[in-house]
Amino acid sequence: MKKKKDIVYDYVIVGGGIIGLSIAYKLSLKDEQSSILVLEKEKDLALHQTGRNSGVIHSGIYYKPNSFKLKNCIEGRRQLVDFAKVNNISFEMCGKLIVATKEKELPVLNKIYENGLRNGLSLIKLLNEKQSKFYEPKVKCLKSIFVPYAGIINYVGVVKKMEELLNAKNNYNKVIKSNKIIKIKDTDTYKELYTKDLYFKGKYVIFACGLQADEMAILDGIDLKSRIIGFRGDYYNVVKSGKSKVKSLIYPVPNIDLPFLGVHLTKMYDSSVEAGPNAVLSFKKEGYSKTSFSFEDTFKMVFYIGFWKLIKTYWKLGLKEYARAFSKTAFLNSLRVLVPNLKKEDLITGKIGVRAQALDVNGNLIDDFLIKKTKNSLHVINAPSPAATASLAIADEVLNRIKENE
């Protein structure tokens, strides 16, 4: 028999990543007397995308002018940096270099530069190779863009601080871990959320479930046309003499038709250096090895019509990514395009992450944030990069949309 939690929480947030905790934190600031419960299925917070990304504070240079994504990136970056300063979170606005190494990349680089200016990033610089070496002495390029609005941060530290602040706000707020939602039931005044051993009541429930966002939306009765698929990202740690070859963030010119930025070099908040990630289809949503496989996740993916339309468009690129995923030499060669004197011994195997990406029925990777509402609940369905950077601004947007119901 399931144990009943008699308290009816004003708000329940399902998902203990940076989006979920940002929403909970902002709700606690809005009304200090509200009771707020955060439910996380894992034994700790931030174990998935939040704790397995590049740790980058994004600038907004790539995004479509006036888009929801851009607006939240810029406002979120401002709030995130302020939060880090006030709460002694490790971060650095070190800037990044977007590097063009081939003639055919120059028109795209110029397009990105003009887009950045339209997006209000007035301090970006278009540089020749000599000027680029002032920022990254070991880089080789034809031209680059220096973006001072980019940085690095400890996102797990941000989440832990938000948990601390939420719990300190009042005696009603709770963060409960190791409880996975398996059933959702509506009543006239609240929702009941069932886990294996417990159930909880919430007047309003916000779902920020990342890789499981579509599953929770369907469980909550939403007729969802899109689906979440996972893209695995493999990282290498840059060690030995390789560390001294990277001062900040070095990015290639990306394929602007895709929501991925290419394999890059990143100086982390703790002064370590990472290389990656690539982007290959994951056959397990929460699979953190190169051979991870889930029959259930794979079955749902391959029987979704949008998946096959995606494959039809990008199968050549996908095969190239898979080849690089299983070849350290191929991975290194991608990095040597940016920094030619990197050596194989400069790289050791690092972490693996899986990015949640919404895919529509036409095989399109949904590029912007996607939010859906139903009775007494709201679902953050798609929160692609720069979701971590934008998390506090996304939380503001969620609160505004909740208010529309009041």
Which of 14, 24, 12 is closest to 394 using CA atoms? Answer: 24
Percentage of the chain surpassing pLDDT 90?
88
Residue 357: strand pairing partners: 229
**239 and 313 together in one domain:** yes
Does some domain include residue 88? no
Phi/psi-derived region of residue 15, left when phi > 0, alpha when psi is between -120 and 50, beta in every other case = left
Q: Is 61 helix (H, G, I), strand (E, B) or coil?
A: coil
CA distance 327 to 266: 20
CA distance 13 to 324: 38
Residue 359: strand pairing partners: 227, 365
Q: How many domains does the chain have?
A: 2
Does some domain include residue 113? no
Burial string for 352-381 (b: 16+ CB within 10 Å, else e) reads bbbbbbbbbeebebbbbbbbbebebbbbbb
**284 and 343 together in one domain:** yes
**358 and 234 together in one domain:** yes
**238 and 324 together in one domain:** yes
The confidence band for 5, taking pLDDT boundaries of 50, 70 and 90, is low
Residue 260 has what pLDDT?
Answer: 72
Is 301 a residue whose pLDDT tops 90? yes
Does some domain include residue 77? no
Q: Which domain holds residue 28?
A: 3-49+156-226+368-403
User: pLDDT digit string (tens) for 355-372?
Assistant: 999 999 999 999 888 999
**35 and 168 together in one domain:** yes
Residue 404 has what pLDDT?
Answer: 76
Q: Are strands 249-252 and 96-100 parallel, antiparallel or unpaired?
A: parallel
Mean pLDDT confidence for 328-344: 95
Is 2 a residue whose pLDDT tops 60? no
Helix, strand, coil percentages (3-state) for the chain, rounded to 5, are 35, 25, 35
**239 and 346 together in one domain:** yes
Residue 262 has what pLDDT?
Answer: 84
**235 and 219 together in one domain:** no
Does some domain include residue 218? yes
The confidence band for 256, taking pLDDT boundaries of 50, 70 and 90, is confident
In the chain, the N- to C-terminal Cα span, in Å, equals: 35
**324 and 217 together in one domain:** no
Query: How does the average pLDDT of the chain come out, rounded?
Result: 94
**284 and 356 together in one domain:** yes
Angle at 68 between CA 67 and CA 70, to 5 degrees: 65
Return phi, psi of residue 27, to 5°.
-65, -40
Residue 1 has what pLDDT?
Answer: 45
User: pLDDT digit string (tens) for 257-268?
Assistant: 666 778 999 999
Residue 319 has what pLDDT?
Answer: 86
CA distance 88 to 383: 26
C-beta of residue 48 within 8 angstroms of C-beta of residue 143:
no
Does some domain include residue 58? no
Lowest mean pLDDT among 83-97, 113-127, 343-357, 368-382: 368-382
Is 154 a residue whose pLDDT tops 50? yes
Is 4 a residue whose pLDDT tops 60? no
Does some domain include residue 310? yes
**233 and 345 together in one domain:** yes
Does some domain include residue 250? no
Place of tokens 């209000």: 120
Percentage of the chain surpassing pLDDT 70?
97
C-beta of residue 391 within 8 angstroms of C-beta of residue 81:
no
Is 142 a residue whose pLDDT tops 90? yes
C-beta of residue 387 within 8 angstroms of C-beta of residue 358:
no
**198 and 170 together in one domain:** yes
Q: Write the CATH number for 184.
A: 3.50.50.60
The confidence band for 160, taking pLDDT boundaries of 50, 70 and 90, is very high
Is 240 a residue whose pLDDT tops 70? yes
Is 318 a residue whose pLDDT tops 90? no
Residue 369 has what pLDDT?
Answer: 87
**351 and 380 together in one domain:** no
Mean pLDDT confidence for 166-180: 96
Is 174 a residue whose pLDDT tops 80? yes
Does some domain include residue 251? no
